[in-house]
Amino acid sequence: MSYRNKTYVAFASEDIHYYRLMTAWRASEHIDFDFVNAHDVYQARDSSLPATIKRRLRERLNDTKQVVLLGSPVAKKKAGDGSSFLAYEVEAIMDLKLPVVVANLDKNRGAVHANYPRPFTEADYYTMSVSYGPTIIKYALDNYAQSFRNGSTNTGWYQYNDSVYKSLGLG
């Protein structure tokens, strides 16, 4: 088994511009945001067969230590439809018991039902909801994800209170 050191960003294809913005944050010398991108390995071409794409997604997730899910109504719909690639990713994430930070694209700081994939809610899967932004996502990856990996017995949807945002200069 390979070393799990990557962050996987899961998203609906309609939200790809938010993913691209995250990669721009990572490239910027003015933003303190870095992650080893799981999407940089095991490339699958759009013309690949669905079975090949799923195999590549699973290979990426096998090398992943944590996940950022870009939370939106379309991501909720696709992740719960049972047939999309996002639904497959969510299933694999849960099978592999990976920590999940749900970054709400509507900038909401709490666990927003409209953005939450049904598989996470039905399983009472321990997740952390944050607003979409580099500082709070980095904080969640550094803190919540570490707690998750250390065997936290928490279940359900969590969110940081306003004091955490204020301590990070996010008002």
Query: What are the pLDDT digits (tens) for 58-82?
Result: 988 998 899 999 999 999 999 999 8
Per-residue model confidence (pLDDT) at position 53: 84
pTM recorded for the entire structure: 0.89
Whether residue 1 is contained in a domain is answered as no
Which pLDDT tens digit goes with each residue over 132-158? 999 999 999 999 988 888 888 889 999
pLDDT at res. 1 = 42
Q: Is 99 domain-assigned?
A: yes
Residue 84 and residue 116 in contact, taking contact as beta carbons nearer than 8 Å: no
Confidence of residue 50 (pLDDT cuts 50, 70, 90): confident
Percent of the chain with pLDDT over 70: 90
Q: Which domain holds residue 158?
A: 6-167
Straight-line distance from the first to the last Cα atom of the chain, in angstroms, rounded to the nearest whole number? 42
Q: Kindly report the CATH number assigned to the domain that includes residue 68.
A: 3.40.50.11200
| Number of helices and strands in the chain (H, E) | 8, 5
Do 60 and 39 contact (CB within 8 A), yes or no?
yes
**Does the residue 106 lie in any domain?**
yes
Number of domains the chain is built from: 1
